[in-house]
Structure 1
Amino acid sequence: MDLNALKGVVERTRDGQLGLPEVVAMGVGGMVSGGIYAALGVAMQQAGNAVALSYLIAGIITLLTAYSYLKLTFHFEEHAGAFTFVEHVVDSPTIAAYTGWVLVVGYVGVMAMYAFAFGAYALTAARAVVGIELPRVLRPVVSVGIVGLFVGLNLSGVRETGLFEDVAVYLKIVILLSLAALGIAFFRGDPTAVDFFDEGYLSPITGFAIIFVSYEGFQLLIYEYEEIRNVERTLPIGMYLAILIAIAIYVAVSFMATLQLRPEQLVAHEETALAAAVSNIPLLGTAGFALVILSAMKSTSSGINATLFGASRLAHEIATEGAIPRLFSFRNREGIPVYSLVLMGGLTAAFAALGTLKQITEFGSVAFLLADAVTNFVNLRLADETGSNRLFPALGLVGTTAAIPIVLYHLYRTDVEILFGIAGIFLTLFLFEALYIERSPFEPDVDDER
């Protein structure tokens, strides 16, 4: 047997050979890693039984935004996402650089959400699977530990990629959709009798804005632009298909959870809501509970690893352009962006240790609503150059822009401390960026052909 050939199949080195199955797996894995395991409880508390509608609305707006990402990526033939798009159309170094800072910190929030969920599920696994009751104070320790592990693995050049990871994603799709089907089929009651708008008619609108971060993983495919075979055909098909699969999973699983979870159970198991819902399915019970816990730990840890890999290289790209300190553009002899990895890993560990799941989820949603609103705006502005149908970026812009004040008003009414915390983070970023730009001028690469 050729061991080098086997290693190539398992590790799948990035040599431009990513086909459609790999692109779909990467997209679904990036989105569903934390969105259903981590954010479901937060979404259900806000939207109640209409949570499935929240995920559907967020998914439709994500499809519209993906259209803008694809059009702009192919137009500029670059892969730094929203930062690149803004850099090409604005003369202001402040706006371009601030977009880059928001993107970097947004991904930190996403990884913190995954790490938080991993820690919560790990403690639950210790109790339910092993029979050891660990104190809740260990949750931040476990979260920090898993981030540190993947920073170390990335620094050493080891990635969780290849055939095994792709198979794990497709297996996760089958498991989650099967759990949803079983939970709906074995519901002891009439699903049509459920009070769908138990939290009010506007609750799914607020809910979609809060959990918008659940779909952010599709953007990671943009950063693999140069490594996808037949990219102009494979990337659009793969991205749209991945988003549609994620929508199907989110809607089906969240609807099942509303049937299986009573309000008091949701409060008691907010951080592990999916596992609690599955445990109520008669056919599965404890076995289903354990299956979801182990799947959640695998998915959230893979989400940390994949996001850390892509986002650290995004930070390297932005630093290379001069929008953030050039220290973070350093790569070692193996091509690993060492300082970007350490920076993002350190910030992620701090967020995961100090924040609550609601704080982290809502911060991530605001960050990516901003980034996606900017992307839709740029594509609408350049519709003639990109060959875009203006309706799609216009609808995407309306959806993402309207969601931002909805989140902020919701926080003002329900948790003003989180609102101040999020505002403080974005204000701090602006101050850091303003001071850095003043000391180290950055000239955006404005497209002269406009």
Structure 2
Amino acid sequence: MNLFRKKSITDLIKETGQKNAALKKELGAFDLSMLGIGAIIGTGIFVLTGVAAAEHAGPALILSFILSGLACVFAALCYAEFASTVPVSGSAYTYSYATFGELIAWILGWDLILEYGLASSAVASGWSGYFQGLLAGFGIHFPKALTSAYDPANGTFVDVPAILIVLLITFLLTQGVKKSAKFNSIIVIVKLAVILLFIAVGAWYVKPTNWTPFMPFGFSGVATGAATVFFAYIGFDAVSTAAEEVRNPQRNMPIGIIASLLVSTILYIIVSGILTGIVPYQNLDVKNPVAFALNYIHQDWVAGFISVGAIAGITTVLLVMIYGQTRLFYAISRDGLLPKIFSKIDKKKQTPIVNSWITAFLVSIFAGFVPLSKLAELTNIGTLFAFMTVSVGILYLRKTKDAPKTGFKVPFVPWIPILSFLFSGYLVLQLPALTWISFFTWLVIGLFVYFGYGRKHSTLNQPLQQIRKIG
């Protein structure tokens, strides 16, 4: 049996029009840009900036964000061409099906399941921490046993707020993609306003002396910082999972992907510069560095707004991550590599409702019971692996005869895809050995699932089965 059999781009696009499994096309360029910003600006700007500055990069955190941003810009151009050429749910998984074949597509899809699943769970845990902190300010406290993941030594057994936010976001997603996108846009505007408030207030308290030494840990520290803050950028590829629900995807998908990444990168660079200019980098190793910086300069009233903005920011990240996970399950299931229950569409809402609640259940288990403090690197390696595959995929796509000639095209091929591959490859090499071991363990489990279920039930295998029956 051919493990590298491909789906033609024509067939992939035809499948999106099937009456029983069609998603509703309701999103425009603005909706996509806001989804991207909603996914990118959140945990990275409100949490990771402090750790990366204090432990790795110092004031050169600005360079770390530029390095990560460059890797993402090159990858984003590649994603934009694929999303414009193959406007089908599934992101890098679907693109690989058209260029590299089924086995590689499955490996990448299994990799993305890990990325979205762990990211959703980690973000839900982070949201729980900020939310409980906000409630504590009003004198409201959850029983300790219900405040964090399972850790009997500390008296905690389940993170109830994390589970509740996952269920709430899933309920919203099942009401239709347009309603979800409107909610996301409102919350994104709130958090952008809060970030601009921080910039407007904080800029007056910057002391250039805090920027020296600029690179206290050398360039290796900058590179490690870039690999750390890369977690902040993983959301933009979630935009490509919305392809089947977009009006005029050839135009709107590239706009949504590139615009959201550029806006987010510019804000990251400005905020990190002001942050390290206000507070000596050695003091930034805290969970809420932006609010901490405002307390440091005695602007406590703004720090309160920052807490609200952080909760809003993390909420939209969670929404887009869970959304991306459900659409990934949907695409893989439609190809037969996962059970068909994941690609069942509700006729009224035109969303995969059963799929959404299964996803919510799985994410809730991890968010509620499993401590995820050290799993950001595992999410990062999955994302970088996807970026590298999509970058190489562009070179194959240009040689594919049935690829549409219209739509967005990556400039300066093959140099942009090669740079994308090299930047992502450099960052992935900065991750610790334990991350690599965990990643390959997950991929081995995925191969067992594929050879035990997916290969047999693949839709590409159905014509062969029918021929055997006739014979």
> 1: CA distance between counterparts of 2:181 and 2:127?
22
- Counterparts of residues 233-382 of structure 1 (less than 5 Å): 233-262=251-280, 265-267=283-285, 269-270=286-287, 272-282=288-298, 284-285=299-300, 287-334=301-348, 335-356=350-371, 358-382=373-397
CA 193–204 in structure 1, closer or farther in 2 if over 3 Å, else same: closer
CA 15–331 in structure 1, closer or farther in 2 if over 3 Å, else same: closer
- Bigger Cα displacement from structure 2, 105-114 vs 332-341: 332-341
CA 229–75 in structure 1, closer or farther in 2 if over 3 Å, else same: closer
Q: CA deviation at 1:375?
A: 0.4
- Counterparts of residues 394-409 of structure 1 (less than 5 Å): 394-407=418-431
- Between Structure 1 and Structure 2, how many residues are aligned? 418
Counterpart residue number, 1:201: 219
Please, which runs of 5 or more residues in structure 1 have no aligned partner?
1-13, 446-450
Q: 2:446 aligns with which of 405, 424, 429?
A: 429
Provide the TM-score with structure 2 as the length reference.
Answer: 0.79
Please say if residues 163 and 368 of structure 2, whose CA atoms lie closer than 8 Å, have aligned partners that are also in contact: yes
- Secondary structure of 2:390 counterpart: helix
> 2: CA distance between counterparts of 1:31 and 1:263?
23
CA displacement 1:256-306 (0-9 Å, x = unmatched): 222344566434x33x23222232233x22x22221111111221232223
CA 76–152 in structure 1, closer or farther in 2 if over 3 Å, else same: closer
- Bigger Cα displacement from structure 2, 35-44 vs 54-63: 35-44
Counterpart residue number, 1:393: 417
Q: CA deviation at 1:423?
A: 4.5
Please say if residues 38 and 313 of structure 2, whose CA atoms lie closer than 8 Å, have aligned partners that are also in contact: yes
Q: 1:62 aligns with which of 45, 59, 72?
A: 72
The residue identity in structure 2 corresponding to 1:54 is: S
> 1: CA distance between counterparts of 2:374 and 2:273?
24
Q: CA deviation at 1:43?
A: 2.9
Counterpart residue number, 1:175: 194
Counterpart residue number, 1:116: 125
Q: Is 1:51 matched up with 2:88? A: no
Q: CA deviation at 1:380?
A: 2.4
Q: Is 1:147 matched up with 2:157? A: no
Counterpart residue number, 1:32: 41
Counterpart residue number, 2:31: 22
The residue identity in structure 1 corresponding to 2:442 is: I
CA 358–233 in structure 1, closer or farther in 2 if over 3 Å, else same: same
CA 121–72 in structure 1, closer or farther in 2 if over 3 Å, else same: same
> 1: CA distance between counterparts of 2:182 and 2:176?
18
Please, which runs of 5 or more residues in structure 2 have no aligned partner?
1-22, 149-158, 404-408, 463-471
> 1: CA distance between counterparts of 2:261 and 2:461?
31
Please say if residues 211 and 365 of structure 1, whose CA atoms lie closer than 8 Å, have aligned partners that are also in contact: no
CA displacement 1:201-220 (0-9 Å, x = unmatched): 21121222233232222223
Counterpart residue number, 1:4: none
Q: CA deviation at 1:63?
A: 1.2
Q: CA deviation at 1:363?
A: 1.5
Counterpart residue number, 1:3: none
The residue identity in structure 2 corresponding to 1:215 is: Y
The residue identity in structure 2 corresponding to 1:220 is: A
CA 328–380 in structure 1, closer or farther in 2 if over 3 Å, else same: same
Counterpart residue number, 1:224: 242
Please say if residues 62 and 215 of structure 1, whose CA atoms lie closer than 8 Å, have aligned partners that are also in contact: yes
- Bigger Cα displacement from structure 2, 173-182 vs 151-160: 151-160
Please say if residues 112 and 360 of structure 1, whose CA atoms lie closer than 8 Å, have aligned partners that are also in contact: no
- Secondary structure of 1:201 counterpart: helix
Please say if residues 84 and 249 of structure 2, whose CA atoms lie closer than 8 Å, have aligned partners that are also in contact: no
> 1: CA distance between counterparts of 2:361 and 2:371?
17
> 1: CA distance between counterparts of 2:61 and 2:268?
9
